[in-house]
Structure 1
Amino acid sequence: MITGKIKSFGVGLGLLTSVACMQTTAFETQLIDETAPSELSQNTTPVFGASLFQGGFKDQPFIGFNPDYQITVGDQINLQLWGAYSFSATLPVDPKGNIFVPEVGPVHVAGIKNGALNDFVLRHVKRVFKNNVQAYANLEASQPVKVFVTGYVNNPGLYNGFSSDSILFYLDSAGGIDKLSGSFVDIKVMRRGAEIQKVNLYNFLVDGIMPALQLRSGDVVVVGARNGSVTVEGAVQQAAQMEFTGPYTQLGEMLLVTKPDPQANFARITQVVDGVQQAKYMSLTDAMTTRLYPGAQVELVRDNDIQSISIRVSGELDGPATYVLPYGATLDELLVQLDFRANADRDSIQLYRDSVAERQRAALNRSLDALQMEVLTRQPNTDLEKTAQKDSAMMIQNFIEQARKAKPRGQVVIANNPNAANMLLEDGDELVVPLKSSTVSIVGEVIFPTSLVYNKKRTLEDYIELAGGFANNANRDELVILHLDGTVSRIDDRDFDNRLGNRLRPGDEIMVMPKIQSSELQVTKDVTEILYRIAVGTAAVLSF
């Protein structure tokens, strides 16, 4: 039963009274109405370019007219002479790069572009036959070659072709690139041990660009190992795993290849950075310059078409550091998947949420704005009041400046609520399972802020004395106890020397707040409320 499961995680600890007390002071802590990173899940998204080699190139050797093809040794030149002298034959380009034209002699054609071959031969013929002889020369067949294909291809070997055939012909003849281990962006052509050309097939796949290269017998085409890759899917024109060179790339570069859907406006990025698995959800504009590391998974979404959410987990757990759940998943659906360690404190599970932190920050800023307005608009009655008010206003302005730097944690209190199991999770939520604690911390306005071993027989007064006693600026009328599960207890001085029972538990923080020195009752009240809001929202005491 769902309710039973949640109770086993401490959502029935009987602290409703303390939570209600905190609500009256508008602390904005929402109530419900570090493990090792794991590898990302097995990737089934197609490798970009894998469909390139499906027999379409090896069965189509290039024998058409290519004006940029350079004549080379072994090519066959069809030559015809007519007029005062007639001749017709197919002439091979000899090892010196010449063809032998009767009555003219050797003509060096190696290196001449195919488109210029006819005019080049005709000029040499005219040097001997000034008049009445015409010439026509064309490439009948390029040189047959044998090229080695090796590296990360499916069938390494030696393959027959022509010097006019492209790299794709020989790669396809070798069964194509191994999509699991071979690189589409790191292909080298070697000649006599030296690299003569580097080929990036993404240029061909995206822009149709293929370097002009004539291969010779003995050349070697080497396919390198697969580089780091990024998976981009979701609202894109073609979901794919894409390679990149270097330690990282940017989403904008990857989208030049895979092309985003025109209406995609958000990106969910999951990757391991410095050994820690991270999950981010951000606008596509912000995501374009985000660094992506090998293994990163990116899902482009439309803001009205979210199908999954990413939840980070940490603390006393084994297993993944990030869980991807269906949109609309509940807390219970996450909890049943967690593998708790033996020392996990299941009664103090903590849930942090960005939207709650934003509301806490907004509420704090509203209070600070009101305090600032009140201080700046007060009118003194005497010169003495004017001087005192100036000093007080400066002190409060400094306090406001410090307070605006406070960063609320956005903790969602899931304790004491039977409906917690059905709480909907939000993308980017972080769930922390703390270690069972045996200590109590004392922070704030005490002489020696410290942590002490919990002893249920000790009173608050005992703990304060063990921390050196109250500091001069301490508020001795009331203390705040912040529990691990996010609930809060406020204890007045009548209970300082009494045992608190369940109101003080291992792992708690006893927060001694500063005393507000002000002659203005309203200012004292406002500053006190802000201090308590900061203490609860940030788990820290701001000095005043």
Structure 2
Amino acid sequence: MSKLFFLIVFLTSQLFAVDIALNGMPDDEVNTTIHHSATTKVFGENLFNGSFSNIRQYKYNPTYRINIGDVISIKFWGAYEADIKVTVDTQGNIFIPKVGTIHLLGAKNEEISQLIKKAVENVYKQNVFVYANLDNYQPVSVFVTGSVNKPGLYEGLSSDLIIQFLDKAKGIHLKDGSFRSITILRDNQRLKTIDLYDFLLNGSLEFFQFKNGDVIFVDSIQYYVSVQGDVKRPYRFELTTPTITLETLSKLAIPNETATNVIVSRWQKNHKKMVQKLSLYKHKNFIIQSGDEVEFIPDHHAYMIEINIEGEHLSAHKMVIPKGTTLQEALEKISFSPLSNKDAVQLFRKSVAKLQKQLIDSQLRDLEAMVLTTGSATPQEALIRKQEAQLVLNFIERAKKVEPKGRVYLNDKSDLNRIVLEDQDTIYIPKKSDIVTIQGEVKLPGAQTYVEGLDLNDYLESVGGYNFRADKENILVIRQNGKVINYDATTFGTEAPKILPGDSILVLGKPDTKDLQITKDITQIIYQIAVGAAVVLRAF
């Protein structure tokens, strides 16, 4: 069990490793087979993250009405001089020595200087000047309830904004809470309804003066539409009515310039799903219903595509070519430099990267399920497994962040005339190199100049040989064109791979564990990351 624990520590550390680059339907068509699988985020979900809850505003508001508990700073000069702070008492009055009481409850903030001056002039007929300022707003306690994450009674100032109180309640519940139907009640009477979309879309938020015992009630969401695809705002949008036009929805979602069509998915009363494809521009008045899923898509008939040219060459870094152009035809248009390694050309493709990412994520899910469902016989074993599981879960979270490059592997037998390029493909041309890098579990990792005739064992000996953690059964030789060769140094009679200029040699670590399944799964994932993401993660 302890060995398994150290295995997890070792494999987790690999994600903090040094990266070694290895680059060297016509309109209105109905189709009931289309499904939306992506999880749509909620518009406004990042609003409440604690940024509002601990901030107090003392902004001047001329229409604010003086309340019990407010603190007023007053300065007198002339025939009567004083600098005092007074609190509005429970009867709505303040008391000024030598002047008496002044009733300010309900008066507007902009009126208090004149009201105080008028009272002072009843005592001092002339040559008295007054300046009054609201020094501190009344502290209040407000109930926040309904579809919020943490209903309760929260303290603040009467001048605080509604989003500050909602933030104290940890925000609106994203699954069923409404951003557009938030009611403020006082003495069980509805005073005001707030629509936070005014703030989210326009930055507009109306001031409201809270009192002790006020209630903020967040209603449940009633109407909504989910949007995804080629838009700047791929969210679930809340509606104030059961329907909305496609044009109005577009103003919320903001389609990208490339979007031309929408796919509307709708569940009908007969439990069948209707999917309809519409032109974004011809069907602006199409009625979207609550619960619909709307996907904005580009549906262009491209005759030209754009590819990227990177690495060592003399051509432009972008090339626009006819759709259907092959890799061989594109290479013939590139001007190579004397340092270009034309024999190690690499091709990267976004669709391949997406597939690689899906494969890695699938392996990570299987690993997570295995770790979380492993039982324990004793409390002591359960504690160790809990620690191990946390390390594995941390490894999984970091591995999920890796983005594969989408390399299409080419070898000497590949027919480049049959490889048709796709839009946004990247052709990478390595630079000729006489350097061989040796990394991983060796005593002195580094780079060596290429010497013709030396084999893998010679290069390993030149860096001091293996260290104590080396897995001699898993040695990788990575060619400049991205080809990966596995070598098992423990198998008798196996000839070591020939080393070529620009190669990278990686000696993987040997896990010390009896749990073969976990060892196999994590090692496979690390290998997939190394090959698919074009980087090698090495333990310290």
TM-score range, shorter chain: 0.3 to 0.5
- TM-score normalised by length of structure 1: 0.47
- TM-score normalised by length of structure 2: 0.47
